[in-house]
Amino acid sequence: MSATVAIMRGSASIAVLLPLVSACFSPSDETPIGDTDEATFGTTDGTGDDMTVSDSISTQPTDDETNTMPTSVDDTTSPSTDPDTTTANTELGPQLVMSVPASGDDNAPLQGYFLLYFDRVVSLDDAVGHILVSQGGSEPQPISPMACPPDADPTCIAGIFPEEFVDPEQNTLPGATAHTVTVEAEFPDPDGFTNTMDQIVEFTTFAYEPNFFDDSDAIVQEFGGIAYDDGSESLFLVGVGVDFGTDPCVVRRIPIPGGVPGTASTAALPTGSYLCYGIDRIGNDLFVSGSYTDNVFRYSNLGAASLMATESVIANPTLPPPLADLSEGWHVARGGNSTFFSHGEFLGGIEDSSILQVSDAGVWSEFEDGDNLWDGQNGVVIEGASIDGEDYLFVAAEAGIWKFRVADGTIVSEVEFELDYATDLRIDSQSRLWVGTQDGITVLEVVDDSYAELARRPGLDTTRFALREDGDTVHVYYQRFREIGQIGHLSIDF
């Protein structure tokens, strides 16, 4: 029996609020999966425990001269409580019970909107002029209250941060920046009840470097992937140079000893392949998927200035059609005594969406045909790992991630996960599975036959990424699939 857990993720647009339907939801009794380390309803405060209402929202005196200390909101407060003191427990007006991002989050997402949930029905008209925002200590300014998607929850008010708050190049909020949302005490409920104190939501967006390294002069389009080799302390990128369709795709090396980038150089030019939509470092070898040539190129001695002397071509599986070639190569993985190959879906009409394997003895076979799991309309992404002495192959396709036991091909667990056309998978030395999508990076605990979310950094396109581990810190180097060679960077501490 396989274990199934749902982790649904949506993408969000900061230009308008309606596309946020899949990213937002109303408060419910459902328990979030693990500690998400993100500014959603499972955000943690650093202790490992889910934040409560009183952790999330604070109140502040409205009189600047008062010495009254801020108090936490008590979600047991009744609207009918007599205001015999000035504490939050006796406020009559609308009380915040939840916010997205959550107050106190130091790794808040980069989305340009926020949601405020109250303990009662509230009016958008009544909120006009009473909800203020500031960024980096700037002067607070009012926003236009909006209905919360997807169902216009009457207890919720949404807002979009002003255009000047958004990084125009990234179309996101800037990283490592403090933001404040203030609900003024004068904001009334439909019965006219107000509060004596403002309510404050404060959060800081997570830190990231969108311009860690610019190799766009060498990779001008069709960025195919990125991998990190700890032996040579180098990033390897693959993409298209100047002459699209004529010259071979280019493999670029960026030395990053200690995380500091050096001078980039061309490490390889895969023979006869002008598009390469995947690159994987496995052990001491680099595998480049020549996606339209039905070939995979293997390189070793990764510390050498040029890898061409070690190039070998993997092609022509000894299997009947449509398994007789490595068409539309996408990802390569290793498990047990076999190397595995999966496919993308380029311009429609893929003939085969199965996973092929070749043993170290050179014997080819089909590991998984995908029937009744995925239908071949999206890329099949794979990553191998040995966990507690057992070899596994993780497979992402369409709306799910499967964990296969390599020894017998059995599915030991699966999880629903909203994926994009292009997705990337990596697993680190601590057996944490990293999933990169157009909406950001998610880290899953997958040691057992279940899944728990350990961390998430939404708002960045990480459809191609690589990992570098440094103690308890994991560095992520990323770029959008089929873009230029412009590499971003973020880190997550565990």
For residue range 330-339, what is the model confidence (pLDDT) as tens digits? 999 999 999 9
Lookup: tokens for 322: 């449509």
Cα–Cα distance measured from residue 155 to residue 57, given in angstroms and rounded to the nearest whole number: 16
Q: Decide the pairing of beta strands 279-282 and 285-290.
A: antiparallel
Residue partners of 416: CB distance under 8 A and separation at least 6: 4, 5, 6, 7, 8, 399, 400
What is the pLDDT, as a whole number, of residue 90? Answer: 78
Position 78: which residue type?
S
Residue partners of 162: CB distance under 8 A and separation at least 6: 133, 141, 143
What is the pLDDT, as a whole number, of residue 327? Answer: 85
What is the pLDDT, as a whole number, of residue 377? Answer: 64
What is the pLDDT, as a whole number, of residue 348? Answer: 55
What is the pLDDT, as a whole number, of residue 243? Answer: 72
What is the pLDDT, as a whole number, of residue 40? Answer: 32
Cα–Cα distance measured from residue 379 to residue 354, given in angstroms and rounded to the nearest whole number: 10
Mean pLDDT confidence for 454-481: 97
Cα–Cα distance measured from residue 215 to residue 486, given in angstroms and rounded to the nearest whole number: 6
Mean pLDDT confidence for 446-452: 89
Cα–Cα distance measured from residue 494 to residue 492, given in angstroms and rounded to the nearest whole number: 7
**pLDDT of 66 over the 60 cut:** no
The answer to whether the beta carbons of residues 34 and 43 sit under 8 Å apart is no
Nearest alpha-carbon partner for 107 in 494, 455, 462? 455
What domains can you pick out in the chain, each with its CATH number? 1-207 (2.60.40.1220), 211-493 (2.120.10.30)
Give the gyration radius of the chain's Cα atoms.
25
Mean pLDDT confidence for 200-211: 97
Mean pLDDT confidence for 256-268: 98
Q: Name which of 6-10, 129-133, 449-453 the model is least confident about.
A: 6-10
Q: Name which of 23-37, 367-381, 418-432 the model is least confident about.
A: 23-37
Give the H or E element holding residue 127: helix 124-127
What is the pLDDT, as a whole number, of residue 346? Answer: 67
Q: Please report which confidence band the pLDDT of residue 282 belongs to, taking 50, 70 and 90 as the band edges.
A: very high
Angle at 352 between CA 315 and CA 236, to 5 degrees: 50
Q: 366 - beta bridge partners?
A: 356
The answer to whether the beta carbons of residues 203 and 196 sit under 8 Å apart is no
Mean of per-residue pLDDT scores for the chain: 84
Tens digits of residue pLDDT in 136-189 = 999 999 999 999 999 999 999 999 999 999 999 888 999 999 999 999 999 999
Mean pLDDT confidence for 224-244: 93
What is the pLDDT, as a whole number, of residue 247? Answer: 78
Cα–Cα distance measured from residue 278 to residue 328, given in angstroms and rounded to the nearest whole number: 10
Cα–Cα distance measured from residue 33 to residue 265, given in angstroms and rounded to the nearest whole number: 43
What is the pLDDT, as a whole number, of residue 89? Answer: 59
DSSP 47: S
Mean pLDDT confidence for 21-45: 33
Mean pLDDT confidence for 67-75: 31
What is the per-residue burial (b if ≥16 Cβ within 10 Å, else e) of 133-147?
bbbeeeeeebbebbe
The answer to whether the beta carbons of residues 198 and 60 sit under 8 Å apart is yes
Lookup: tokens for 212: 């860690």
Q: Please report which confidence band the pLDDT of residue 304 belongs to, taking 50, 70 and 90 as the band edges.
A: very high
The number of C-alpha atoms within 13 Å of 486 and in the hemisphere containing its C-beta is 12
Cα–Cα distance measured from residue 225 to residue 487, given in angstroms and rounded to the nearest whole number: 11
